[in-house]
Chains A and B, each alone.
Chain A
Amino acid sequence: MTQTAAALEAYNAYWANSIIPHGNVLWMVFIIVLAVIALWQARTFVSKF
């Protein structure tokens, strides 16, 4: 099933008032960066404890 125009409009409406420019993409970038930091910390944690 492809997304209908109504579904895409409702989805895009969430990011339309984002305070951060390009918020519709940057939230994913932010999650990836935070996940990489968490994984790095977890690896450091494994080696130290």
Chain B
Amino acid sequence: MDLKALKKQESKRKISKGYMWAFFCALFWGLWYLPGTAIWVLNPFDEMSSAIAKTSGDNVSLVVTAVLITAFNALAVMLALMIWNGVLGKYGELVRTLKEFKPCSKWFFLASIFGGPMAVFGSFIAMGFIGGAFSAVAGLLYPVIGSIIAYYWYGEKISKRAAIGIGVIVLGGISIYGGGLLTELSSGNAGNVQWIGYLGGLMAAAGWGIEGAIAGKGLDIAEPDAGLTLRFLGETIIWWVIAIPILAIIGFPMYSFAIQAFEPLTLLILVFAGITFGYCYVTWYKSFPLIGVGRGQGIGNLYGFCAVIFIFLFFGDVPAWTILVGGTLCILGSFIMFTEDASALETLRGE
């Protein structure tokens, strides 16, 4: 076998692994909705939400409770990622990446600002002020933003075929949540504060898109497993060292409810939230150097379809016909991307 054929074979292997990691991301992300939904009804979050609603209203109560849940989610993700890095023998790499702030870890700490307080928090705000379906649709638009930033910032190539595939998956996602989206938008149940929900949706799409593009830059010189762990170290610091103390100073009972979260069932659900969210993120980051930010985010977007399937299987919520149409579009979009000629992905960056 000559050098050219070997190079082609290696490139094909790399691309198939990239798509595999992006698909793992979609599966874990879809599964995250099970513990991510169930945690809200458990104590102390249930009672915290009621207690704050009595004094500060439903909207403030939802946002403050979301901050505590997100902070615990970040801690659980750190735990899951330490196991991931331990199994892969990456602790040395982790310390090395952390020490190299200027060339490496600064990108991941920056990604944590856009991914955590901007995207995840924006997603919760959209969910609370408008609805879950609107939040999901807004989030689905992130590959468009990620691909555009990666193209203009460091010249990541995005072929016409990949752009069509991403577009079809985004359309599929919109169709999946279309029914709920129209109901939420027409009901106007949030009254005159609805614009905060739209802002939240924009924060989610822009936050995840920018995070992906920044991560793509950081992953030029760092390793994804270590890089992602540092990104979550950054998010954990933001929630536990900045956001929660500020909310406690304002007068919300953050610490008293945080201590009460150490209850077996709550901890069990948080552990599964940590595994699914952490492993979805680490596989997302692993796909970027192999197939590019645009394609990784596009296939990762299948999470919308996966979430519907897992919610149907485990919660028994029967999907509507719009979901089946959306699911077909998602599969079609993925197929368009999977069947792209490997030679188009040999170099991910422009000349």
Contacts and interface: CB of A to CB of B under 8 A. Distances in A.
Interface in B301-323: 310, 312-317
| A contact face: mostly helix, strand, loop, or mixed | helix
Interface in A4-34: 4, 6-7, 10-11, 14-20, 23, 26-28, 30-32, 34
Of A6, A15, A38, most buried by chain B (CB within 10 Å of CB) is A38
Interface in B25-76: 27-28, 31, 34, 37-38, 41-44, 46-47
Given A17-B315, A18-B313, A34-B27, A39 B84 contact: yes
Contacts of A30: 31
A23 B314 CA distance: 6
Contact of B31 (A10, A26, A31): A31
B31 A19 contact: no
Interface in B115-146: none
B7 to A, nearest CB: 14
A27 B60 CA distance: 32
Nearest to A34: B27
B14 A49 contact: yes
Nearest to B44: A1
B84 A1 contact: no
Query: Which of A10, A11, A46 has the most chain B CB within a 10 Å cutoff?
Result: A11
Contacts of A16: 316
Given A11-B41, A34-B28, A45-B17, A18 B316 contact: yes
Given A1-B260, A27-B34, A46-B88, A35 B279 contact: yes
Given A11-B42, A17-B315, A39-B87, A3 B279 contact: no
Contacts of B314: 14-15, 18-20, 23, 26-27
A7 to B, nearest CB: 5
A48 to B, nearest CB: 8
Prevailing SS type, chain B contact patch: helix
A8 B275 CA distance: 23
The winner among B31, B37, B87, B315 for most chain A CB atoms within 10 A is B315
Interface residues of B, number: 39
A21 B37 CA distance: 20
A45 B44 CA distance: 40
Contacts of B41: 7, 10-11, 14
A31 B272 contact: yes
Nearest to B315: A14
A44 B79 CA distance: 22
A23 B31 CA distance: 13
B316 A19 contact: yes
B8 to A, nearest CB: 16
B43 A3 contact: yes
A43 B31 CA distance: 22
Contact of B315 (A6, A15, A45, A46): A15
Contact of B275 (A11, A31, A45): A31
A10 B46 contact: yes
Given A38-B24, A39-B87, 15 more contacts: A1-B47, A4-B47, A7-B42, A17-B317, A18-B314, A20-B314, A23-B314, A23-B316, A27-B34, A28-B268, A30-B31, A34-B27, A35-B275, A42-B286, A45-B17
Interface of A: 1-4, 6-7, 10-11, 14-20, 23, 26-28, 30-32, 34-35, 38-39, 41-43, 45-46, 49
19 contacts: A3-B42, A4-B47, A6-B46, A7-B43, A10-B41, A11-B265, A14-B38, A14-B41, A17-B316, A18-B314, A18-B315, A20-B313, A23-B313, A34-B28, A39-B84, A41-B24, A42-B84, A42-B225, A49-B14
